[in-house]
Structure 1
């Protein structure tokens, strides 16, 4: 079993690499202009060029992928020739700073021909002062300096040769500014160190946004899972044990009806009945910054939609598996030996009949978590599926890559759990 689990972890690692490369290539090859998606369709060529340079989008694709995986702060450290670190401010913003020998934090801006340092001391006090002694003479007599700017880049300034740039100002959007550098390194630690970068669409760290969206989807999918799976297994076994009866026909036809109706149609139909006509439930999940469990009424319609969709599918799989097992030779032998009906069903039939449904259920965990985008869009639910859809429309590959990695880990992890469950359902199954 240990060897099997190690093989699964290797499969997880390999799958994550392949999926991350595929998602990166597809995002790069897809039509659309990320600068126009973020800044608007009427941006000037200068604004577009500034945005592309600031975000490192002018670098080759393989370099950007490499930096997304393992980060580039170690490259910036060599350029700046000082340790650099990321901090979280009291307001919750993430900022990169260089670290001086005395432990205080420093970063810079250019004002005309002057290099101005912003310094935060150990006691939290902040000062600004001219720091022109850091200019370094290069070929041609020009002076340059590598430092950390106020927009979380490692940058190279050239004295007397700065450019106009457009920077994102909280509450104001993209504003024109002077003192622009010649080179940018948009700082990130990399996915392997828990930092998939900044979302181009929102300007916020992907890790924070992804955590909130993942939490919301886990609550929605988990609630639906806890309700639908035991119910579907029970009804499927009842239908399988009563093959050909009225109960079987009723459950099979009802399950098929719910499973073939599209998610958006089911969601709209339920909203029309319970929200518009009866006025019993809210028709949209307007959560804001609240956790889903703080507004449970808003979960009812999305959960009910998912329950009806999944119920029919898992029910029919369980029924088919139960029918097949009940016709097996060992079941007939058990009956011929005179064993009680309940003992044959619960001790011999059910355990083997559950193997196929367990496989389907574990596969649907991944679907419930990330594939419920239609349900999330219909009800305005801020979950992982809707987040990935919005990111794909914006070509926000930092968010897309991180979301895809979450889905891969869920998919491989749930299949590992399913394989372990098999060994309890059927003792003959062993993994070397």
Structure 2
């Protein structure tokens, strides 16, 4: 799959801009702050319905406007698909597929698939667990769009349950509170089990690709790994199904505990959550928040025998971040071989952050993708291995004709 045309209206710094693209490598060159990332952000937004730079939609609208419009024409084989997405201030966003009647925003998920590398990816290693949970969930939805509803259902139930716990904490915990909490426990257990089951399966798919990608980017002297730590594990009694999880140990003990959870069905995980909620109820009421569930889980990244966070050097941290994105790319390629689409690779101002060796290795890895979109402030930052079309970005638009 590749993006053939992108049009933005009142998106970020652009009143109007049109960009024609083609398969292979395209490098967008322009000074810092000129709007290159805005173009990449719009493409990524169509894939995930979120920005890799901000947590809300408001900053995406050009200042003083009430709506922004993203139009994209995507080509997969002989089929062309036109997506239109309207981001609105103060009301629901709207989407259209091939100029049909408006559909729900999440109905376009899975049509445009991207893997986006950006300087913000450092948070995948250095940041808090929420960054890694978001990474997993966005990849999960890209692969299986139905899980957008899974995430939405869980977030809705979590919000309601937390409101009830907060209310119970503020006053006396009555029989009415307990009965209502029992109902929400059932809903949250089911939604949480579905999300946990999907995440565990995804981590299993990612793990070998992560290690392989890290070896490709480095000298291969250290292995890269990932261990999913569920809050559910800490609540399960030692009944032979699983044991409390810790950091990945050389003998694989933590990984073995996660494997046991992975073998449980959604129904079995639901039962486990209900037991865990019952065991933690007193603490949850005292604190007024939900202490168990996927919203508090962690994806621990391991380099050699140590956690990447806090132990990895700057270069190793960058290699781990890039490896996570490459691993997600390889997982999506696995799906493409069974009927899915190869994703568009977006490298937003990444090469400026890397040393020469990592630049060349990354360029060699991605150069064979169906479509690669790269931004750079200085063309010299682009490795010679990454040959292809060059486009100059100027204030407010594109400098035509293109240059090479």
TM-score (ref. length: structure 1): 0.22
Greater relative CO, 1 or 2 (CA 8 Å, sep 6+): 2
Which has the larger share of strand? 2
TM-score (ref. length: structure 2): 0.23
Which of 1 and 2 has greater Rg? 1
